[in-house]
Chain A
Amino acid sequence: MIPASFDYVRAGSAAEAISLIGEYGDEAKFLAGGHSLLPMMKLRLAQPTVLVDIARVTDLSYIRDAGDHIAIGALTRHMDVEKSPVLAQHVPLLAHAAGYVGDPQVRHRGTIGGTIAHADPASDLPATTLALGATYVVQGPNGTREIKAADFYKGFLESDLAADEMITEIRVPKMNGAGWSFQKFNRRAQDWAIVGVAAWRGSNGSGVALVNMGQTPVLATSVSKALGGGASIADAAALAVAEASPSKDNNASVEYRTHLAKVLVRRALEESTK
């Protein structure tokens, strides 16, 4: 399978990438690791006429301690997120979840900014950063803006990003020793989750987000609210799908996904509760 023809240009900086994408218009796409975009182009589900390769914007690949949060450059690869000692110490849930994306070869290419911009509800890191209360820094022709993960996801593969905006940084609050869990249920190695759960629970609250339980990654606010009000783990987990709208596919029916989400949220909360 070969993608349809396109023109290829390379950007040396975020500013240049945004200017190039502006020049080429709606049919142009940013290319980072390419591990979501290229499979879609090979299947001709996506047919951009121009690819603006941003993978060489190396100053957007970093993981830095920024005080109350960790700042991650958008072009940081999954493998580097997985292996980061800074994240292992301060945001272990994210480092752990990154190790579940695809397989090692995919993690050598795919980037955290790319998977978030792709906004696939079945991907691991959109939901994980959502659970963690992350903020995405986005650069466009008129400067930068910050978007909370909770406001970012708008629909299936749709986000708040304008066509000429790119994510430059992901800011993830430090977990400060909170308990956490990442549950990924699938039938075959390297598959997407049939249902997944990213959760943390600490002295200042909790966060629970669901993978593949709707058109977007889903923040299970009812679960956190119940826990905050003193509910038991079992009672809180029973509210797992209050915000979800799962659909059926070859892997699972709506009923099965609904049941699975409640079970996995309960397991995640048990593992997160110290």
Chain B
Amino acid sequence: MEIRVTVNGKQHVSDVEPRTLLVHYIREVLELTGTNVGCDTSSCGACSVHVDGEAVKSCTVLAVQADGSSVTTIEGMAAADGTLHPMQKAFMENHGLQCGYCTPGKVMAATSLLKENPHPTEDDIRIGLEGNLCRCTGYPNIVKSVLAAAGK
């Protein structure tokens, strides 16, 4: 089936099988491999991307469901000149990543969270990121990063 999806501002017209998951479309068809597959069961959040500005788990969305949507992945967060998004910068400055596997999903979920709640408390952040697991258990600095980004 033919789909039209704008990814990181660029429009793509692709022919996909209906069963193609959005994350596989992003990684394998568009070759944007910043979005990771973790648990593949909509638990861990590593595959989080924005669809029309809201975080979703792209392992549990079909590419055909995103037809006509605007998708943002981690590759679309930095400015065109390479300046990092404030959330990416905050993660870097606050040691918000260890192995880095969960980080793209964390950044996408955290920016979606701040859009809905621009001034979160620490509790709001912990609850708001409950759908994103970090196997390094680096949560304190992840929360610190999001608090820092919210303060900017």
Footprint of B on A, CB under 8 Å? 1-8, 31, 34-35, 38-39, 42, 51, 53, 55, 79, 102-106, 108-109, 189-190
A3, A42, A103 — most chain B CB neighbours (10 Å): A103
Do the beta carbons of A108 and B60 come within 8 Å of each other?
no
Known: A38-B60, A39-B60. A105 touches B21 (CB 8 A): no
- Nearest CB in chain B: distance from A105 CB, A: 5
User: Who on chain A is nearest to B47 by CB?
Assistant: A105
Do the beta carbons of A1 and B18 come within 8 Å of each other?
no
**Partner pick for B131 among A4, A39, A190, CB 8 A cutoff:** A190
User: Who on chain B is nearest to A189 by CB?
Assistant: B130
Kindly list chain B residues whose C-beta atoms are within 8 Å of the C-beta of A8. 1, 18, 62, 64
Known: A55-B65, A104-B55, A190-B131. A2 touches B19 (CB 8 A): yes
Do the beta carbons of B64 and A53 come within 8 Å of each other?
yes
New A-B pairs, 16, CB < 8 Å, besides A104-B128, A105-B109, A108-B54: A1-B40, A2-B19, A2-B21, A4-B19, A8-B64, A31-B65, A35-B42, A38-B61, A39-B41, A42-B60, A104-B130, A105-B42, A105-B48, A105-B55, A105-B131, A108-B112
Q: Does B43 contact A (CB under 8 A)?
A: yes
Question: In the bound complex, what is the Cα–Cα distance between A15 and B122 (angstroms)?
Answer: 46
Question: In the bound complex, what is the Cα–Cα distance between A49 and B139 (angstroms)?
Answer: 42
Binding site of B, secondary structure by majority: helix, strand, loop or mixed? mixed
Do the beta carbons of B17 and A5 come within 8 Å of each other?
yes
Do the beta carbons of A103 and B62 come within 8 Å of each other?
no
Q: Does B7 contact A (CB under 8 A)?
A: no
Chain B contact-residue range equals 20 to 34
Known: A108-B55, A189-B130. A2 touches B48 (CB 8 A): no
Do the beta carbons of A6 and B18 come within 8 Å of each other?
yes
Question: In the bound complex, what is the Cα–Cα distance between A8 and B18 (angstroms)?
Answer: 6
Question: In the bound complex, what is the Cα–Cα distance between A4 and B131 (angstroms)?
Answer: 26
Kindly list chain A residues whose C-beta atoms are within 8 Å of the C-beta of B61. 34, 38, 109
- Nearest CB in chain B: distance from A191 CB, A: 9
User: Who on chain B is nearest to A102 by CB?
Assistant: B131
Kindly list chain B residues whose C-beta atoms are within 8 Å of the C-beta of A5. 17-19
Kindly list chain B residues whose C-beta atoms are within 8 Å of the C-beta of A103. 45, 130-132
Question: In the bound complex, what is the Cα–Cα distance between A105 and B40 (angstroms)?
Answer: 14
Do the beta carbons of B55 and A38 come within 8 Å of each other?
no
**16 A-B interface contacts by CB (under 8 A):** A3-B19, A8-B18, A34-B61, A35-B42, A35-B60, A51-B18, A53-B64, A102-B42, A104-B112, A104-B130, A105-B55, A105-B112, A106-B57, A108-B55, A189-B130, A190-B43
